[in-house]
Structure 1
Amino acid sequence: MDQRRLGAHNVGAIGFGTMSFGGIFGATDEATSLDCLDAALDAGITHFDTADIYGMGVSEEILGKWGRRDVVLATKCGIVSGPPRAVRNDEAYIRQCLEESLRRLKREHIELFYIHRRQPEIPIEDLAGTMSKLVKEGKIGGYGLSEIAPATLRRAHAEYPVTAVQNEFSLWTRLPQLGLIQACGELRVAFVAFSPLGRGVFGREPLKSDFRAGIDFRDTNPRFTEPNFSANLAAIAPFRDLCAARGWSVPGAALAWVLAQGDHIIPIPATRSAGHLRDWTAPGLTDGDLEDVGRILPAGFAHGDRYGDHQMAFVERYC
């Protein structure tokens, strides 16, 4: 697999998100998750992303039991489970969360530590100062920010260099192209794209609207509820036809499009099944291919917002 830069490390151009290990898309089990991690490593993936809130520590515990020391791990803190949903960025809370994450991960040091959501009341310069202390103490290799605006990145980076920014980015979520991806490139900050396969909408087969209420969070997501869901499947169908005609897997082509938007971009697709990994092989897209994809799926084609109002709390909006 091609390599890309993540802080002080070269990692596989495609990383691995472990949110699904925590059960947010449905039931899973430890043995299946461990098999999936082994298969990802065999496929050349060397960067694995988690968070304390994924299954309330379950995802981190699985990575800790996996026990690999030859991979780059990232975790996050800052979201306080609700209801109501809240965030905390104060130093005492960040330190507490980091120690708990390190215990679950069975690590004394982690390569990348994100603030999952920004607390508006705390100046970003103060937050960057807190994270700089953790770097200097050897607890973390670098820090990142998630779901932020370009202005926030610039302010934080001026106080202490940011390693990575993680925001949602895919064929149907293009907001980061309105300034954030460019700012990351200018500052030499890695842009880590989560949900690059649109939470499964760019999977091997078209999704069915059987999201289990209270288990799969897509059951309340505007893009996955009617009438938006059917409209989105219809909009994506010609892209599936293009992939079939050119011998691409749908996930592979969707990831290739993300990778083509900048050499500092690292997508982190997620899966609960090792069998899905073979679909992630990204074809080399020509300029003509990218034009065809852009014509079929232009910016803004998606029906419905990427989050419901309750999920947009503490996501920075800048356009």
Structure 2
Amino acid sequence: MRQRHLGKNGPQVSALGLGCLSFGGMFGPTTEAETLRTLDAAWDAGITFLDTANRYGEGVSETMIGQWLKTRGHRPHIATKAAFSDDPARRIDNRPEHLRAELEGSLKRLRVDHVTLFYAHRHDPLVPAEDLAGTMQRLQEEGKILGYGLSEIGPYTLERCHAVHPVTAVQNEYSLWTRTPELGLIQRCAQLGVAFVPFSPLARGAFGTPMADPASFAPTEFRTRIPRFQAENWPHNKAKLDAFHAFARTRGLTPAAVALAWLLDRAPHIIPIPGTRTADHLRAWVLAPEIDLSDDDRQEIDRLLPLGWAWGDRYDDQQAATVERYS
């Protein structure tokens, strides 16, 4: 697989990473055997960058990766995240004692003594960005992390942190149906030599094969709360998505592969992290870095899915409460 730099001073990693959220059961039940098969398939395909978090299945995702590392002996680059708190009075906690304790738990579950990348899963408004960067700098100096990142932040937080200690990567939602990072964040990352890591690059299954179907979502699944999947918006979104899926088929490709190829085509510092809990779904998009889009392809994608085409927001108000706004 083609490689990209994880930030100006970071290591080379596969152009696609693997998002490991679904190993924790976020999109339905899975098994240890299926998770290990998926990780094997990713490694065999050349994916060397795994993205997880302590909250994914409340440690299950990290534990499964740790089991895979123990039994296979592979050494991928691992990113994990922390910041969410069980304290109802403080949903996000960037205090040094919290981040340090959460990182130690992650290292134990992953069975490693350090990770390549440690993200603040969200920025805590009660902790100045400069203090957060200082905490991350100390963890890096101690060898527990090789670099740090920020998730769901605005350009202003990136600038404040980077001025104290260089940021390795920023992870925000970005895809053909969520384009907000184009309003300055992607550009600022490029200027500072920071990798931009899009999560949910397949629009939470909307670019999957088969396409996500809200009628099949379990009542407790978080996608049921996302406005874009709700009854007043989904028919409009599905009509646009159907046309895109048809275009991908005319190219002899899956919609997922084309959606990822579009992201990779946007800028060389972009490293998407599509997620799946099955090896079969992974095979539908893993060759995306080998796809070179033509000018005609770009024009047709822009025609089918123009900027701002999606009906509804990407989060409901509760889900969006911890996300920094900058537009």
Give TM-score scaled by structure 1 length.
0.97
Correspondence for 1:284 among 286, 292, 308: 292
Q: How far has the Cα of 1:206 moved from its partner?
A: 2.4
1:211 lines up with 2:217 in the alignment: yes
**Relative to structure 1, is the Cα distance of residues 84 and 234 closer, same or farther in structure 2, using a 3 angstrom cutoff?**
farther
Identity %: 53
Higher mean C-alpha deviation, range 13-22 or range 220-229: 220-229
Partners of 2:17 and 2:184 in 1: CA distance: 23
Partners of 1:184 and 1:69 in 2: CA distance: 30
Partners of 2:182 and 2:244 in 1: CA distance: 21
- Counterpart of 2:159 in structure 1 is 154
Letter of the 1:191 partner, please give it. Answer: F
Check conservation: 2:204, 2:212, Cα contact below 8 A.
no
Partners of 2:26 and 2:12 in 1: CA distance: 30
Q: How far has the Cα of 1:318 moved from its partner?
A: 0.3
SS at match of 1:243: helix
Letter of the 2:293 partner, please give it. Answer: L
- Counterpart of 1:6 in structure 2 is 6
**Where do residues 163-182 of structure 1 align in structure 2 (5 Å cutoff)?**
163-182=168-187
Letter of the 2:143 partner, please give it. Answer: G
- Counterpart of 2:245 in structure 1 is 240
- Counterpart of 2:315 in structure 1 is 307
SS at match of 2:256: helix
**Relative to structure 1, is the Cα distance of residues 304 and 83 closer, same or farther in structure 2, using a 3 angstrom cutoff?**
farther
Letter of the 1:285 partner, please give it. Answer: L
Letter of the 1:296 partner, please give it. Answer: L
Letter of the 1:4 partner, please give it. Answer: R
SS at match of 2:160: helix
Letter of the 2:230 partner, please give it. Answer: T
Higher mean C-alpha deviation, range 198-207 or range 132-141: 198-207
1:49 lines up with 2:51 in the alignment: yes
- Counterpart of 2:301 in structure 1 is 293
Q: How far has the Cα of 1:83 moved from its partner?
A: 5.9
SS at match of 1:20: helix
Partners of 1:210 and 1:220 in 2: CA distance: 14
Partners of 2:138 and 2:211 in 1: CA distance: 46
Give TM-score scaled by structure 2 length.
0.95
Aligned residues: 318
Partners of 2:18 and 2:117 in 1: CA distance: 14
Deviation per residue, 1:143-172 (Å, 9 max, x gap)? 000000011101110110000000000000
- 5+ residue gaps, structure 1, are none
Partners of 2:63 and 2:261 in 1: CA distance: 31
- 5+ residue gaps, structure 2, are none
Check conservation: 2:17, 2:50, Cα contact below 8 A.
yes
Partners of 2:114 and 2:306 in 1: CA distance: 42
Correspondence for 1:196 among 179, 186, 201: 201
**Relative to structure 1, is the Cα distance of residues 203 and 82 closer, same or farther in structure 2, using a 3 angstrom cutoff?**
farther
- Counterpart of 1:316 in structure 2 is 324
Q: How far has the Cα of 1:93 moved from its partner?
A: 0.5
Q: How far has the Cα of 1:207 moved from its partner?
A: 2.3
- Counterpart of 2:36 in structure 1 is 34
SS at match of 2:12: strand
- Counterpart of 2:233 in structure 1 is 228
Partners of 1:70 and 1:97 in 2: CA distance: 22
Q: How far has the Cα of 1:263 moved from its partner?
A: 0.3
- Counterpart of 1:24 in structure 2 is 26
Check conservation: 1:53, 1:81, Cα contact below 8 A.
no
Q: How far has the Cα of 1:257 moved from its partner?
A: 0.5
Partners of 1:260 and 1:57 in 2: CA distance: 34
Correspondence for 1:264 among 240, 263, 269: 269
Check conservation: 1:166, 1:192, Cα contact below 8 A.
yes
Check conservation: 2:228, 2:314, Cα contact below 8 A.
yes
SS at match of 2:156: helix
Letter of the 1:45 partner, please give it. Answer: I
Correspondence for 2:147 among 138, 142, 148: 142
Deviation per residue, 1:284-316 (Å, 9 max, x gap)? 111221111011101111111101111011200
SS at match of 1:268: coil
Deviation per residue, 1:248-288 (Å, 9 max, x gap)? 21100000001111100000000011001221122211122
SS at match of 1:162: coil
Deviation per residue, 1:74-94 (Å, 9 max, x gap)? 000001247677100000011
